[in-house]
Amino acid sequence: MEHREKIQVEQLQNPPGEGSCHFEGEHTLYMSLAPRPLHYVQVQDGKTYNGLYRPGDMLLTPANIPLFVRWEGEENCLRMRLTAEFLQNVARETLTPDCDRLELLPEFQVRDQQIEAIAMMLNTELQQGLSGSQLYLDSLANVLAVNLLRHHTTTKPQLPTYEGGLTPRQLQRVLEYIDAHLDQDLKLENLAQLLDISQFHFSRLFKQSLGSSPYQYLIHQRIERAKQLLKQTDQSIIDIAFDCGFNSHSHLSKKFRQITGITPKAYRAS
């Protein structure tokens, strides 16, 4: 799953073996998905780890650091690669001014509940092969990046806090923009740029204001428009799906049923 090159997610399933990798300009996070603990020997940055990884245990390898791994069972893990440039951009727009000195730490067998939750959502996207919504993937990538920066760097920077949500004027501007571009694959940066704030803070303030994430709001608005078109036109359901920003008939049907409890066809007939 490619995501504008900012983040790449893939599931690795391998018989017992060993391997080396070295990603230039990309930070790599591996999370074990194997149902049973798996014995690993791992070497990076002059340090060696020898022990068991359980489901959810992670290995963090910063960009440009060679990694050697040997495993003694059926490997099943999720590999997430974030470009160093993307992480730097998130640091610059989200964190304190001296973000240029932030360095990710190489870490073995680390647990992080928030990152684990994001990884599982990315894995679900990968399994469904929906190439979901750009907005959803952007949001996950940003939260992942901020968590890495806050908890897995040399300096553990503080996030500036913004409370109280967006002003009514800011909110109106964003909602009008979303409404005018419902049929397009909206990106988080498009929305954050409207208000000239970071993508991470935009997501948080939006949720404080409306009680739902930008992605949840977008899906609900698309479903509302689909309902109108189903009732007021005789357009085919596939055309309605594209007009409302879904990438297929089944994508619309799935989301429609999640939100309304019935299929678009049944809604039109009712």
Q: Domains of the chain (ranges plus CATH)? A: 2-111 (2.60.120.10), 220-269 (1.10.10.60)
pLDDT digits (tens, 9 = 90+) for 83-133: 999 998 888 888 766 666 778 999 999 999 999 999 999 888 878 765 567
**Among candidates 198, 194, 192, 206, which has minimal Cα distance to 145?**
198
Block residue for tokens 């397009």: 184
List residues bridging with 30 in a β-sheet. 59, 79
The model's pTM:
0.83
**Among candidates 2, 6, 40, 1, which has minimal Cα distance to 188?**
6
pLDDT digits (tens, 9 = 90+) for 35-74: 999 999 999 999 999 999 999 999 999 999 999 999 999 9
pLDDT digits (tens, 9 = 90+) for 137-195: 889 999 999 999 988 988 777 776 667 789 999 999 999 999 999 999 899 999 999 99
Structure tokens at 251: 């994508």
